[in-house]
Amino acid sequence: MGKLDGKVALITGAGSGIGRATAILFAQEGAKVAVVDVDQDGANGAVAEIGAKGGQAFAFKADVSRARDAEAMVAETVRRFGRLDIIYNNAGIFFPAQVHSMSEEEWDRMLSINLKGVFLGCKYALAELMKHGGVILATGSIAGLEGHNGEPHYGAAKAGVINLMKSIAMDYAHYNIRANCICPGGVQTNIAKEIVNRIAPEQLVKMGQLAMTHSLIKRQAQPEEIARAALFLCSDDASFITGHTLVVDGGWTAGHRMAFFDS
Ligand SMILES: NC(=O)c1ccc[n+]([C@@H]2O[C@H](COP(=O)([O-])OP(=O)(O)OC[C@H]3O[C@@H](n4cnc5c(N)ncnc54)[C@H](O)[C@@H]3O)[C@@H](O)[C@H]2O)c1
């Protein structure tokens, strides 16, 4: 018996990385999955992988920052599978910037996808979830919990996501809806794809190594390690957990090392 038997889950950004690993795991656990991504090929690939393992899923192309797309992804899920029980707002982008040199368009793009996209997903999913209860999950980041240099727009969006999940938990608990947030540290995915051609290869390698330097478990997470946390929060194993921010960062934010005591 799977942990999500009989459930219908919609996952955004499910064509790659954390979302894809979660879509595969949710399907293995018995959920029917709407694999939503702006990248149609990525979404198709995830659906093929789920199908090959005997799971049920369909791919849907949507830009989560557009209200019409967000409404359509929920409507198509309900049309195909008859209901919606879980929405995992996971789609996101990353590129570094600093406030003094960031354009208004760069700020707007980051906030539109990484924060407004979560609002829109929740807005249209809630109409379905309020009929019978359900679960909302979002991917935040440790960058939303503490200041990180070089990514103020990303951190501001993720801080917004964390608060949005807590606020939704408060407003919809009486509909039997739980809302939580996962905050990963460094995860080995394609999140840096936008900048691979814009920064020197050695800088890219250094970016990948950040998790090795800063986390206590000296490596990046694999997307499957975040997916398992998502499964926990979306299943009945977390039936009494709502308004929670689950940090999955290998100890990156556990504290500040005081070299004085090291020897
Ligand atoms: N990788 C990390 O180190 C890390 C750390 C903390 C948080 N996160 C967050 O995890 C989430 C998933 O990212 P990932 O690391 O798996 O990266 P990824 O690039 O592998 O996957 C992100 C997916 O989102 C999709 N996407 C981007 N913009 C979209 C849009 N407008 N509409 C629909 N889909 C869109 C992409 O096409 C891609 O398939 C993001 O919210 C990211 O901010 C990642």
String of DSSP letters for 14-71: TTSHHHHHHHHHHHHTT-EEEEEES-HHHHHHHHHHHHHTT-EEEEEE--TTSHHHHH
Report whether 31 contacts 3 (CB < 8 A): no
User: Ligand 1 centroid vs 112 CA: distance in angstroms?
Assistant: 13
Active site residue: 124, 154, 172, 175, which one? 154
Cα–Cα distances (Å) from 206 to 19, 81, 149, 210, in that order, read 24, 44, 15, 6
pLDDT at position 250: 98
The DSSP bridge partners found for residue 181 are: 138, 245
Dihedral sign of CA atoms 124, 157, 35, 37 in order: positive
Predicted confidence (pLDDT) per residue in 25-62, tens digit: 999 999 999 999 999 999 999 999 999 999 999 999 99
Whether 175 is catalytic is: no
CA 94 to ligand 1: nearest atom: 43
- pLDDT score of 206 more than 90: no
Q: Give the per-residue pLDDT at 205.
A: 83
Q: pLDDT band at residue 8, thresholds of 50, 70 and 90?
A: very high
Confidence (pLDDT) at 95: 94
Q: Exposed (0-12), middle (13-18) or buried (19+): which is 249, by Cβ within 10 Å?
A: buried
Atom of ligand 1 minimally distant from the CA of 211: 3
Confidence at residue 262, expressed as pLDDT on a 0 to 100 scale: 87
Domain ranges of the chain: 8-251
44 lines ligand 1 (CB under 6 A): no
pLDDT score of 202 more than 90: no
Query: Quick check: CB of 85 below 6 Å from ligand 1?
Result: no
The pLDDT score that the predictor gives to residue 201 is: 83
- Look at residue 165 and give its three-state secondary structure: helix
CB 208 within 8 Å of CB 199 = no
Contacts of residue 128, Cβ cutoff 8 Å, sequence gap at least 6: 74, 78, 83, 84, 134
Residue nearest to atom 10 of ligand 1 (CA): 139
pLDDT at 212: 86
Instruction: Give tens-digit pLDDT for 86-140.
Output: 999 999 999 999 999 999 999 999 999 999 999 999 999 999 999 999 999 999 9
* 35 touches ligand 1 (CB under 6 Å): no
Residue 263 has pLDDT above 80, yes or no: no
pLDDT score of 83: 98
CATH class name, domain 8-251: alpha beta
pLDDT at residue number 18: 98
Residue 221 CA, closest ligand 1 atom number: 3
pTM for the whole structure = 0.98
pLDDT at residue number 208: 81
* pLDDT value at residue 228: 98
pLDDT in tens, 147-192: 999 999 999 999 999 999 999 999 999 999 999 999 999 999 999 8
Choice between 262 and 222, residue whose per-residue pLDDT is larger: 222
